[in-house]
Amino acid sequence: MTERVVGIGAGAKELATEDMVLNIGPQHPSTHGVLRLRLTLDGERIATAEPVVGYMHRGAEKLFEVRDYRQIIMLANRHDWLSAFSNELGVVLAAERMLGMEPPVRAVWARTLLAELNRVLNHLMFLGSYPLEMGAMTPIFYAFDERERLQAVMEEISGGRMHYMFNRVGGLKEDLPYGWLDRVSQTVAAVRAKIPDIEHLILHNEIFLARTRGVGVLTREQIMQYGVSGPIARASGVDLDLRRDQPYLAYPELPVEVVTRTGGDCHSRFEVLLEQVKVSLDLADACVERLRSLPRGPINQRLPKVLKVPEGHTYAWTENPLGINGYYLVSKGDKTPWRLKLRSASYSNVQVLCEMLPGHLVSDMVAILGSMFFVVGDIDR
C-alpha cells in the first residue's frame, strides 16, 4: 500500500484510500421518512452525495385529476403530514380565486389562526426530533408536551389530530366551538411559557454547539440556484416570507416579523425555527383578539351540490411551515381539475444536499440532514 504525505503537520502521513460507495437508506433512523442517500466516501469524508427519492411516491397529482374539489382537500393535506392545515389552504385559495369567491371575514381570520397553530406544531416536532437524532433524548419530551397542548385545541375544532380536513372552498367546515378562543389563548400562553426551557436546554448546549456551528453551511447563492425556501433559506440571509411579501388571508393586517440569520449553518437553521415559534404564537394571539371583536356571522359560503370551477388557470402559493408551497390549477370547467401541479417545499429543499454534504465527515451527515427540516411525503408526493 502506498502512502502520501499531507500538509497537516511535520511528518504527518495519511494512508491512500479507495473511494467506497455507501447507501444510507432507503430506511434509516437519521432521515424523516424513506429517503435514500448514495454517498461516495474517501475514508470518513463524503466525496459525493446523491439523494434518491421516490420510495413513498403515491401519485397524488394524478389522483387530484379524478377527485372533485371537496375530495382533493383530503388528498392535499397528507403530503406533508406535519402541516396538514397549511396544505389544504393552497387548494381552496386557488379554487376560490378561479370562482371569484370571497370567504367571510371570520373564516379568513380563523384560517390564519389555525395556520399559525399548525406552524407551531410543525416546528415543535423538529425542535424536539433534531436533538434526538444527535443523541439528546430529553428535548423531545419537552417539545411533545407542548405539541399535545396544541393538538388538543386543533382536535377540538376539527376532530382530527393530524389530518384536519377543516378547510372548505368558500371558508371552513363549521363555526368555532363556544369557549374555544379562550382555550386557544390559554394554550398559547402555556406554550410560550415553556419555549425558554427548550431554548436553554438545547440552543446553548456545548455538545449541540460543537455538532452544529459551522457545519452544513448553505450559501445565499446555493439557496437561489436550487429554489430553497422557508426557515432554511432565511437562515442563510434570504429575507423572503410570503406572509409579508405577498400576503394572503389576514396577513396584510398583521405585523409579520421575518426571522433571518446569516450563518447558514445547522445552528442558524435551528435558531430560526425556534424564533419563528415565538413569532407564530404572537400572531395567533393577534388573530384570537380580532376574532373576539368580530360579530357573529357565517363561516363559509353556500356551495352548489356539484362545484365546477370556471375554465382557466391560476397559481396559489402559501408560506408553509417548511417553505413555499404552491398549487398550479388548470380547469376546463369541470368538477375536477384538468391539472393540479404541486410545488412542495421539501422537494426543493432536499435537492441541495448534493452540494452541501461533500467535504463533510459521515458523522456530520446526520446533523446536516436533521437541520434541513424536510418531510419525505412532501418530496414523494
pLDDT at residue 30 above 70? no
- The percentage of residues in the chain with a pLDDT greater than 90, rounded to a whole number, is 72
Predicted structure pTM score: 0.91
Q: Is residue 181 helix, strand or coil? A: helix
> Could you give the count of Cα atoms lying within 13 Å of 35 in the half-sphere of its Cβ?
25
Instruction: Determine the Cα angle at 34 with ends 31 and 36, to 5°.
Output: 75
Least confident segment among 58-62, 81-85, 169-173, 332-336: 58-62
Query: Is the per-residue pLDDT at 259 higher than 80?
Result: yes
Residue 265's closest CA among 346, 202, 209?
209
What pLDDT was estimated at residue 33?
64
The mean pLDDT value for 37-43 works out to 90
pLDDT at position 17 is 63
Instruction: Give the per-residue pLDDT at 4.
Output: 43
DSSP output for 32-81? SSS-EEEEEEETTEEEEEEEE--TT---HHHHHTTS-HHHHHHHHTTSST
pLDDT tens-digit readout, 129-164: 999 888 888 999 999 999 999 999 999 999 888 888
Whether 9 has a pLDDT exceeding 50, the answer reads: no
Kindly indicate the confidence band of residue 2, based on its pLDDT and cuts at 50, 70 and 90: very low
pLDDT above 80 (res 166)? yes
Which strand ranges, in their side-by-side order, compose the sheet holding 323-331?
312-320, 323-331, 339-343
In DSSP terms, 139 is beta-bridged to none
pLDDT at 5 (0 to 100): 40
Query: Residue 208 — very low, low, confident or very high, per pLDDT cuts 50/70/90?
Result: very high
Largest CA distance in the chain: 82
Mean pLDDT, residues 198-223: 92
Average pLDDT rounded to a whole number, residues 196-223: 92
For residue 120, the model assigns a pLDDT of 97
Which residue in the block uniquely carries the three cell numbers 448514495?
Answer: 38
Of 5-14, 66-75, 142-151, minimum mean pLDDT range: 5-14
pLDDT in tens, 296-334: 999 999 999 999 999 999 999 999 999 999 999 999 999
Q: Which CATH class is domain 60-379?
A: mainly alpha
Any bridge partners for residue 222, and if so which? none
pLDDT at 192 over 90: yes
Residue boundaries of the structural domains of the chain:
3-52, 60-379
